[in-house]
Amino acid sequence: MRAAFYIPLAAFLGLAAALGIGLTMNMRLLPSALIGRSVPTFNLPPVPGVRPALSSANLKAGKVVLVNIFASWCVSCREEHPILMALAKSHVVPIYGIAYKDTPKATATYLANNGDPYQRIGEDETGRVGINWGVYGVPETYVVTKTGKIAYKVVGPISAAILTQKVLPLVRKLEAEP
Amino acid sequence: MIPEIGQFALVLAFVITLVQGTLPVIGAARNDAAWMAVARPAALMQLFFVAAAFLALTWSFVVSDFSVLTVAENSSIARPLLYKITGVWGNHEGSMMLWVLILAVYGGAVAIFGGHLPAALRARVLSVQAWIATGFLLFILVASNPFVRIFPAPLNGNGLNPLLQDPGLATHPPALYMGYVGFSMAFSFAIAALIEGRVDPAWARWVRPWVLVAWCFLTLGIALGSHWSYYVLGWGGWWFWDPVENASFMPWLAGTALLHSAIVVERREALKSWTILLAILTFSLSLIGTFLVRSGVLTSVHAFAVDPKQGTFILVLLVIAIGGSLGLYALRAPSLKLGGLFAPISREGSLVLNNLLLVTACGTILLGTLYPLLLASVTGQMVSVGPPYFDAVFVPIMVPLIALMAVGPMLAWKRGDLAGALARLKAAFAAAALIALVTWHYLTNGSWLSVLGMALAAWLIVGSLVELVERLRLFRGSLRQSWARARHLPRSVYGMVVAHAGLGVVVLGIAAALTWHSAVLRDMRPGQSAKVGPYEFTLRGVQEVPGPNYTARQGVFIVTKDGRYVTTMKPEVRHYSIPPMSVSRVALRPSLVADLYAAIGSPDGSGGYAVRLYRKPLISWIWLGALIMVLGGGLSLSDRRLRIGAPARKSAAYPAPSAIAKGA
């Protein structure tokens, strides 16, 4: 019976150990449960007159691509937008966009104002597809392999450092793979 | 000069906490009145010096002394005075200062208002309070000193995150901290009781006002924070299950459980060691919340920028404070005497069930918040947990809890009559069924959850009123008798009825907001109109408006209903230069019937603007309900027995703690 009074202490010490390990990790590079798995199956409508639509088939076309989840209402997306624009100009890797919980009009306006780095855009008005991707907060950026597997995930605005140190080396490595 | 005075005051406060943390508690063990008496002046001195340090920092912000690093990094000259002051706690160092200031305020409050406490208990409580202060003052002095100078001083500061330049921010962290830190009092009382080896109804009565104060402030703080994200973050949501929101919600759930279990200790002397455990857990969750926000282990919109050294320091503090107190609990709690027995169906039984549900809810949120971290540390695998998880687990726990809230107060202590209680709740049943039918009829885009939510809200509100009617014997005797009963009914009963009904109002607001909102998202040119529900929004024009440290693009909407003028709404996008950032300011017209909400976005290049217009029926009831809950807490706090009730303990003599430990 007395031993039961030690349960809270034991539980807390376990928690503290996990927090300690957590401190040593960089949780901003939080990959998703889907890492190593195929992208979820989806078929999203386009933003009319802007870019072609996006479906899971486009992600299995033998190219390494970045999938960027964004929204016109999201402040952090504006922060990362110049970096995406620069990346798009460099033609290193195609960027596909999923406009999360947004409307075609708002997306089109947003891109007209801030520039459009995407080759394809899927309009996810309900956010259903975003949930299947395991979206935690917008923006998020996924690296997808030639065969349509999720290789990496960045939560929050992508920074130049993450891009050059993590994402681009991975893209080059995946490109080299058959 | 002023920052150095602040620095010295901080060091002095730290030294005082060392004295306050040792002499009184040793004095209590040796029954030495002189040593115990050190506690009160020490707590007041600590308050004085911490307040002096806080004022020194505030002064540095007000006069924009950019030779102070914290000011240079977080303020700028052009900022309005109000936001220079609130900027003090809009950053990591300053918010830690606010944390210790509030801790010292509570310590000082015990020193001033704790006159009726036994000297030994007061000495121990203040010593434990000083231990916490020692840890956090050390943390401030070593790892996040707000008074660090830089040379040469920059001409202007980096400015505050513009999202935080808002009246909501001015009020929500202080209220939140008053709540968070307020639970340190319950913690100190619990540790003091464990050291003393004695928990009795008198202890529960002494600790209750502190728990109530903390609970009221935390409720207020969470409500303000939620309202802030509703109108500042700008997309109409009001709760995001963000780790930082969870960090404030978990102590609230545990603190609510504590509030209720302390009643059982007070009335029936049961659940003692459980109540002690809850007091420790509630404050521990506050501390863990502080750690989560500041260590960078979780991603969040609210996170402060921090370096890993600070995270490690707080983690060590956590292990000492929480690990130490839970260790003490494991050693001493088994010796607490068991209290009165009760049948499963009784007031106590319902409060136990309430505690189980609240703690389970708290546990699932803790799990959801930390699961990515736990899994990553154990297996290296990374996952994320989002709102779908929290919605899925939280709702099924809240439903029985709310159903129970109307029934529990109807049950008698020791052994209750469930059938009788349910029979008396006929009116609540009828109201719930009626509301469910009405909701079903008007359901447009909601689900069965909306129907359930509305029914539960009606059940709880009417059930709480039925409880009051029963107590007053309204409609069963003469009005005069009822009036006499009304005057003699303890305030705590009114408090309970009001707080429970307040939660019902919150549930009503949530269910309605989920069910009947209408939204229009489109491009509008000046002169065009859009219909949102029965309202017609006409974009009159878009103008550039200068602000004190920003320029804004402001849309002017004329809102009419059936051709009659209702209001003018002016949403803005503010462009700040320091730091460069654009922030959307929605225009909000709150009302009890429906909030109107307008936001303006970017121009589309051909003279139009992206706009978002919402009509959200009853959504402001969420925050109204929270205020009603705070009012209920305040009523309960004003109860006579908490003000005058300095109950004598059963036996006057204090047994030595060691004797209890051996005797058990």
State the best of A6, A19, A81, A141 to mutate against chain B, taking most chain B CBs within 10 Å: A19
Domain boundaries, chain A: 28-176
Kindly list the distances between the CA atom of residue B632 and the CA atoms of A4, B84, B521, in Å, as whole numbers in the listed order: 36, 34, 39
* Structure token digits, residue B41: 């002046």
Given a contact cutoff of 8 angstroms between Cβ atoms, the answer to whether B599 and B611 are in contact is yes
3-class DSSP assignment, residue A143: strand
Cβ contacts of B51 within 8 Å, gap of 6 or more: B101, B104
**Looking at the DSSP assignment, which residues form a beta bridge with residue B535?**
B532, B561
| B327: nearest CB among A2, A9, A31 | A9
Least reliable range by pLDDT among B256-265, B467-476, B536-545: B467-476
pLDDT tens digits along A21-60? 777 665 444 445 567 778 888 889 988 888 889 988 888 8
Q: What are the phi and psi torsion angles at B612 (to 5°)?
A: -125, 125
Distance from chain centroid for Cα A99: 11
Q: What angle do CA B84, B176, B77 make, to 5 degrees?
A: 5
Cβ atoms within 10 Å, residue B371: 14
Query: Quick one: which of B582, B540, B589, B514 has its CA closest to B231?
Result: B589
A17 contacts in B (CB within 8 Å)? 377
A131 contacts in B (CB within 8 Å)? 386, 388
Q: pTM here?
A: 0.81
d(CA B435, CA B432): 5
d(CA B207, nearest CA chain A) in Å: 22
pLDDT at B569 exceeding the cut of 70? yes
* Structure token digits, residue B525: 């040119």
Q: ipTM score here?
A: 0.80
B306 contacts in A (CB within 8 Å)? none
pLDDT at B324 exceeding the cut of 70? yes
Question: Is A86's Cβ below 8 Å from some Cβ in B?
Answer: no
| B377: nearest CB among A18, A32, A33 | A18
Find the residue in A nearest to B329 (Cα).
Answer: A5
- Stretch 151-170 of chain A: residues touching chain B, C-beta under 8 Å: 153, 155-156
| A5: nearest CB among B315, B329, B386 | B329
CB contact under 8 A, B523 and A109: yes
Query: Quick one: which of B260, B580, B275 has its CA closest to B405?
Result: B260
pLDDT value at residue B654: 43
pLDDT at B659 exceeding the cut of 70? no
pLDDT value at residue B20: 96
b/e sequence B505-527, b meaning 16+ C-beta within 10 Å: bbbbbbbbbbbbbbebbbbbeee
Given a contact cutoff of 8 angstroms between Cβ atoms, the answer to whether B263 and B203 are in contact is no
pLDDT tens digits along B382-407? 666 777 788 888 989 999 999 999 99
pLDDT value at residue B133: 96
pLDDT value at residue B303: 44
| A18: nearest CB among B330, B373, B388 | B373
d(CA B361, CA B225): 20
Assign residue A53 a region: left if phi > 0, alpha if psi is -120 to 50, beta otherwise? beta
Most confident of B54-63, B235-244, B385-394, B470-479: B54-63
User: How long, in residues, is chain A?
Assistant: 178
pLDDT value at residue B128: 96
Given a contact cutoff of 8 angstroms between Cβ atoms, the answer to whether B509 and B453 are in contact is no
The better pLDDT of the pair B416, B502 is held by B502
Question: Is A176's Cβ below 8 Å from some Cβ in B?
Answer: no
State the best of B602, B606, B612 to mutate against chain A, taking most chain A CBs within 10 Å: B602
pLDDT at B655 exceeding the cut of 70? no
| B323: nearest CB among A12, A31, A131 | A12
Question: Is A136's Cβ below 8 Å from some Cβ in B?
Answer: yes
A2 contacts in B (CB within 8 Å)? 334
* Structure token digits, residue A21: 């390990």
d(CA B297, CA B315): 11
d(CA A142, CA A30): 11
State the best of A47, A74, A75 to mutate against chain B, taking most chain B CBs within 10 Å: A75
pLDDT value at residue B307: 61
* Structure token digits, residue B150: 């830089």
pLDDT tens digits along B102-156? 999 999 999 999 888 899 999 999 999 999 999 999 999 998 899 988 877 777 7
pLDDT value at residue A125: 85
pLDDT at B81 exceeding the cut of 90? no
**Looking at the DSSP assignment, which residues form a beta bridge with residue B538?**
B529, B558
| A12: nearest CB among B326, B377, B604 | B326
Q: What angle do CA A107, A109, A115 make, to 5 degrees?
A: 90
b/e sequence A152-177, b meaning 16+ C-beta within 10 Å: bbbbbbbeeebbeebbbeebeebeee
pLDDT tens digits along B619-636? 899 999 999 999 999 999
Q: What are the phi and psi torsion angles at B154 (to 5°)?
A: -70, 160
d(CA A66, CA A96): 6
Question: Is A25's Cβ below 8 Å from some Cβ in B?
Answer: yes
| A16: nearest CB among B281, B318, B378 | B318
pLDDT value at residue A115: 86
Most confident of B25-34, B151-160, B539-548, B574-583: B25-34
Query: Cis omega before residue A139 (within 30°)?
Result: yes
Assign residue B201 a region: left if phi > 0, alpha if psi is -120 to 50, beta otherwise? alpha
pLDDT tens digits along B544-560? 888 887 888 899 999 99
d(CA B232, CA B240): 13
| Three-class DSSP labels, B342-357 | CCCCCHHHHHHHHHHH
Question: If you compute the radius of gyration of chain A from its CA atoms, what whole number of angstroms results?
Answer: 19
d(CA A178, nearest CA chain B) in Å: 26
For CA atoms A150, A154, A156, A157, give the dihedral sign. negative
Q: Which CATH superfamily is domain A28-176 in?
A: Glutaredoxin (3.40.30.10)
Question: Is A77's Cβ below 8 Å from some Cβ in B?
Answer: no
d(CA B469, CA B463): 10
From the number of C-beta atoms within 10 Å of its C-beta (0-12, 13-18, 19+), residue B189 rates as buried
B377 contacts in A (CB within 8 Å)? 17-18, 21-22, 25
Residue B56 pLDDT grade (very low, low, confident, very high; cuts 50, 70, 90) = very high
The better pLDDT of the pair B563, A127 is held by B563
